[in-house]
Amino acid sequence: MSLYTSASGREVNHLSYSAISDYDFCPELFRLSRIEGYVDKEKRAAFSFGNCVEAAIQFYHDNGLKAGEGIDEFKRLWLKWKDIPLVYSDQEGSWFDLLNMGASLLRLYEVRLPDLPIKNPKFQLNYKKPLWPGTELADLEFTSFIDILSTLEDGGRIIVDVKTAKSPLPDIPGILALDPQLKDYAWATGIKEVAFLWLVKGRPSFKHGDTISLLEDAGNFKAGQELVVAKFTSPKDAVVVSEGVKTSPAVPWLLLAGTTEVVRKMDEELDKISGKGSKERTEALYAEYAADGRLASVSQDGVSKTRLQFVTAKIPDKDIPEAGQNIGHKMLQIKSSVENNFFPKTGGLRYPNTKCPSCRMRGLCLGRRDLVDLLLVKIGPKVQDDDWLKELESEVE
């Protein structure tokens, strides 16, 4: 039994997390994309960038964890997209900006890997699980693509989902156990230990208080550690006038950085400095903190605004069957929609439901041929559905 016939002409008997997300967003979006085959005309850089980063991580492991191999592989893969039109967000900037971000992320992964629970990893595993085995609906399955399956020290296993993202995960202990995708994967695989390898993009624009990642050792701090910017000197600020000649420092700019606690304490002391000679006392305080190792000087090549978070959780026993029941419920809803050709539009304009103004299908819903031609293309029978699905599940924006 199939669930629906895809735009490529294939009988589809499975659902994925991204397909369910599409249906939850709007059943009409599900129909237009999954069944009719309308997809974005413009390709966002985030898709391709995320795939290149994931592939480079796998290459790094498959080729003996040699220093720099992952970085070189990322650059090789990303070079293929240099002259291809992609849509870049303001944070991503350009192809060149993402080249630097990707290299920084792979460097961070190298230095952080010894402390991560990624041992003997297996990559890109596809798990399929039937919803109603032994019944007339036995052919209907949930499919999941596992980025990394790793072995834990106690012999257990952990699912690691790799995401490239524009912002860090919330710092709330245990919150990861509420992620619906990870709960679905735990149900599909029977593995309760889950994690996000969360790779945060960031362009090199610095100001006081920014969180940064060290790419190399600096003072008392080790590569891979996250610090906070206490002060930075740009070329403009660092110009020195000597005998009427302006000269710049050898280093384009320099950061002074330390832990959150140290920078906060220093800021409190800086707030007390005022009056005549305040500039000199301020500089003396910075020098004092740097001299005793509470702050470290970091050059341009040794720091990045990208971040690597590795957050783990254990899905509670009671939540795993609930995830399966929810998948089954959505499967029956979609099956009913297909059988009855009923895919209601559940969009919206007003907060907190503001789906329609940015939905890529809005031209079809409005009957606007100009928007359809601007935003969409219709895929044909040569498209491989599973490849498209795998790409859809690799991005977080």
142-199 pLDDT tens trace:
999 999 999 998 999 999 999 999 999 998 988 999 999 999 999 999 999 999 999 9
C-alpha–C-alpha distance, residues 68 and 176, integer Å: 31
Residue 25, pLDDT > 60, answer yes
Cβ pair 372, 39 in contact under 8 A: no
The model's confidence at residue 78, banded by pLDDT at 50, 70 and 90, is: very high
Encoded tokens for 238:
């660092």
Fold classification of 1-202+307-397 (topology level) = Lambda Exonuclease; Chain A (3.90.320)
C-alpha–C-alpha distance, residues 14 and 143, integer Å: 6
Each residue's pLDDT tens digit, 332-358: 999 999 999 999 999 899 998 999 999
Mean of per-residue pLDDT scores for the chain: 90
What residue ranges do the domains of the chain occupy?
1-202+307-397, 211-304
The model's confidence at residue 383, banded by pLDDT at 50, 70 and 90, is: very low
Count CB atoms within 10 A of the CB of residue 335: 17
Q: Is 24 helix (H, G, I), strand (E, B) or coil?
A: helix
Instruction: State how far the alpha carbon of 325 is from the alpha carbons of 1, 33, 131, 186, 201, in Å.
Output: 20, 25, 9, 13, 35
33: DSSP letter:
I
- Over residues 34-47, the mean pLDDT reads 93
Each residue's pLDDT tens digit, 286-295: 999 999 999 9
- Over residues 369-397, the mean pLDDT reads 66
The model's confidence at residue 236, banded by pLDDT at 50, 70 and 90, is: low
Q: C-alpha 185: how far from its chain's center? A: 18
Encoded tokens for 229:
């910017």
Cβ pair 119, 156 in contact under 8 A: no
Instruction: State how far the alpha carbon of 10 is from the alpha carbons of 3, 5, 38, 385, 387, in Å.
Output: 11, 6, 16, 8, 13
Count CB atoms within 10 A of the CB of residue 3: 20
- Over residues 252-256, the mean pLDDT reads 72
Each residue's pLDDT tens digit, 309-330: 999 999 999 999 999 999 999 9
Cβ pair 34, 8 in contact under 8 A: no
C-alpha–C-alpha distance, residues 25 and 17, integer Å: 12
